[in-house]
Amino acid sequence: GGSKAASLHWTGERAVSVLLLGLLPAAYLCPGPAVDYSLAAALTLHGHWGLGQVITDYVHGDVPVKAANAGLYVLSALTFAGLCHFNYHDVGICKAVAMLWSL
Which residue ranges are tagged as binding site for heme b? Answer: 46
Domains and CATH numbers, the chain: 4-101 (1.20.1300.10)
| C-alpha span between 80 and 76 (Å, rounded) | 6
Res 7 pLDDT > 90: no
What pTM was computed for the model?
0.88
Which residue ranges are tagged as binding site? Answer: 46, 58
Lowest mean pLDDT among 2-11, 30-39, 91-100: 2-11
pLDDT confidence of residue 69: 97
Which residue ranges are tagged as binding site for a ubiquinone? Answer: 58
Pick the closest to residue 96 from 27, 38, 20 (CA basis).
27
Average pLDDT of the segment spanning 73-97: 97
Average pLDDT of the segment spanning 15-37: 93
Average pLDDT of the segment spanning 82-87: 98
